[in-house]
Amino acid sequence: MQHIDSSDELPIGPVDGQASPRFAGLTTFARLPRRDQAPRHDVAVVGVPFDSGVTFRPGARFGPGAIREASRLLRPYNPAGDVSPFASMQVVDAGDIDCTPFDISKALEQIQAGVGDLIRDNRRVLLLGGDHTIALGALRAIYEAHGPVALVHFDAHLDTWGPYMDTPVTHGTPFRNAIEEGLLIKEHSAHVGIRGPLYGPEDLADDENLGFSIVHAREFHTEKFLDIMQRVRRRVGDAPVYISIDIDVLDPAHAPGTGTPEAGGLTSRELLELLRGLKGINLVGADVVEVSPPYDHAAVTSVAASHCAYDLISLMAHVHNQD
Ligand SMILES: N=C(N)NCCCC(=O)O
Ligand SMILES: [Zn+2]
Ligand SMILES: [Zn+2]
């Protein structure tokens, strides 16, 4: 049982695993308090169980539940960044945003409104997807609060394609939509981990014309890891940043439970280290998307996603502690 004293100034942390076994109790992200159990929040983790934008395998609507379940094992201290992310700021689980599975535009409005509510007064948000379409709803809300932001987009896919079967917004289009709507600072935005077959060479040319830079997955073989890390860090500079992690940036060996898997991807160690290399950036929001539990095995993918989420919150703690 969580004992909550609203007069307490200190953040309410996760349920203590010494007092209540980590596999017991109702599931919130990292066993954190629900939003209604804390007097305030600095960071809200929120599920977005939407997967009506997928072009191949479905199932990401079950992602938030699986990531929360995997996150029970997270411990309070992150040695990689020497930070206890739940100790210096109030992190809460805000539950799921109710969004219709039957209408993509309407779902995006619901996501934008839900995220907008959570980030009022400079609060930060972490979305658990859901397919990649949801990033557009989040970016619309982030734009309302901060103006255009830098995007660091980890993905096998560009997600800057045009309409699919005359539908302009799907999980293959969110960052084209975001650029066209003026939500991103192009010169500070990058894709990382891109690989796999495309529809044609024009996909890359179109992406470049939209203004993105790319770290291709194969460069992890030919370039020094630290150089790649610095390249990404330099690209974002001092801009407010949104990080979007499509779990399919990982090799299918590290993330089998996803809808559009591509061979030749990053290891989970590489991805986590890249995140840690961004320590100090002004991270205003983030998402982890495309976890599809029906295709997962032994929670491999949801464990990886829960650790990405934990390192994203750790990045938020670094900047929160400087504020
Ligand atoms: N955002 C993700 N995961 N996938 C987009 C793939 C779109 C396509 O295969 O055309
Ligand atoms: Zn992808
Ligand atoms: Zn994607």
Instruction: Give the ipTM of the model, two decimals please.
Output: 0.98
Q: Is the peptide bond before 147 cis (omega within 30 degrees of 0)?
A: no
% of the chain with per-residue pLDDT over 90: 97
Q: Which of 4-18, 129-143, 213-227, 276-290 has the lowest mean pLDDT?
A: 4-18
> Residue 7 pLDDT > 50, yes or no?
no
- Residue 262 CB–ligand 1 contact under 6 Å: no
Return binding residues: 132, 155, 157, 159, 246, 248
Look at residue 8 in the predicted model and tell me its pLDDT: 54
- Residue 172 CB–ligand 1 contact under 6 Å: yes
- Residue 55 CB–ligand 1 contact under 6 Å: yes
Going from N- to C-terminal start, the domains of the chain cover 29-322
Name which CATH class applies to 29-322.
Answer: alpha beta
The residue whose CA has the least distance to atom 7 of ligand 1 is 172
Structure tokens at 257: 């439970």
What mean pLDDT comes out for the span 50-72? Answer: 98
Residue to substitute in 161, 244, 262 for testing ligand 1 pocket (most ligand atoms within 8 angstroms of CB):
161
Number of H-type helices and E-type strands within the chain: 9, 8
pTM above 0.90, yes or no: yes
What mean pLDDT comes out for the span 160-177? Answer: 98
The dihedral region occupied by 11, where left means phi > 0, alpha psi between -120 and 50, and beta the remainder, is: beta
Encode pLDDT of 92-141 as tens digits: 999 999 999 999 999 999 999 999 999 999 999 999 999 999 999 999 99
Dihedral angle at the C-alpha atoms of 284, 302, 272, 17, nearest 10 degrees?
A: 90
Look at residue 6 in the predicted model and tell me its pLDDT: 46
Look at residue 1 in the predicted model and tell me its pLDDT: 40
